[in-house]
Amino acid sequence: MHDSATAALPSHVGFIVDGNRRWATAQGIPKLQGHKRGMENLRARVSQARKLGIQYVSAFIFSTENWQRSAEEVAYLMDLFVWYADKELKQLSEENIKIVFLGTSDRLPAKVLAAMDRAEARTKQFDGMTLALCLNYGGQQELADAMSRLVSDGVAASEINSTTLANYLYHPEIPPVDLIIRTSGEQRLSNFMLWRAAYAELYFTTKAWPDFAEADLLVALADYANRHRRHGK
């Protein structure tokens, strides 16, 4: 048993899915194929998380900065997102998993937006778990958009506080992140969930995301369970 100051199972796990291209290079296959393998692994880890009883999983799959990549890679990723939304997410929906997207629609092709709408509509009534896919997402942009909507709604400066602002985030029903897992040896947030990550525990592994297997998630969760979360107390 754990005392009240000790974390047990996180309610919300965030994945920064890093290392797909490096994994592909190490496997001797085209770099872009690493992204497909990464998406397949995301479905497996989400399914695992649901079975363990985790209520929310978020995944950083395309940042607002990723538009700086080559036109070929961006086009491949856009097609991959459509495939994922229609194929992989369909399997997740069979597990009663609700799917939502966090980010801005700016620059996203119509086919991607349509696939996102289909996935959200198909799963909106599900309550087994929520998967929040951060697509064309940036933590700073989320905060800027929240402030813009506050101003548009005529909210007085004197009424703006942490609770008010949280209600204007993308999908404000998504709670703070308890545990953020980043793969491939990088140790930074890279603009992921900046508001919700305020008190998140951070877990880093040198494994590339496609190699982050069932046992690796269990190790990360065991590490989390042994940490004392004081939230500044």
Task: Tally Cβ neighbours within 10 Å of residue 67.
Answer: 12
Task: Check residue 117 and give its pLDDT.
Answer: 95
**What range does the domain containing 43 cover?**
12-225
- Percent pLDDT > 90 in the chain is 88
Q: Which of 207, 213, 180 is nearest to 40 (CA)?
A: 213
Active site residues: 18, 66
**Per-residue tokens: 42:** 């995301």
The answer as to whether 156 is a domain residue is: yes
**Residue 42 φ then ψ, to 5°:** -60, -45
6 lies in a domain? no
Domain count, the chain: 1
Quick check: helix, strand or coil at residue 108?
Answer: coil
215 inside domain: yes
- Tell me whether residue 27 is in a domain: yes
Give the tens place of pLDDT for each residue, 91-141.
877 899 999 999 999 999 999 999 999 999 999 999 999 999 999 999 999
- Quick: pLDDT tens for 38-56: 999 999 999 999 999 999 9
Total-model pTM: 0.93
Q: What does the mean pLDDT of the chain come to?
A: 93
CATH of the domain at 177: 3.40.1180.10
Domain membership flag for residue 30? yes
Tokens encoding 63: 């940042």
Residue 33 lies inside a defined structural domain of this protein: yes
* Residues 199-232 pLDDT 10s: 999 999 999 999 999 999 999 999 999 987 666 6
In a domain, 231, yes or no: no
**Domain assignment of residue 170, yes or no:** yes
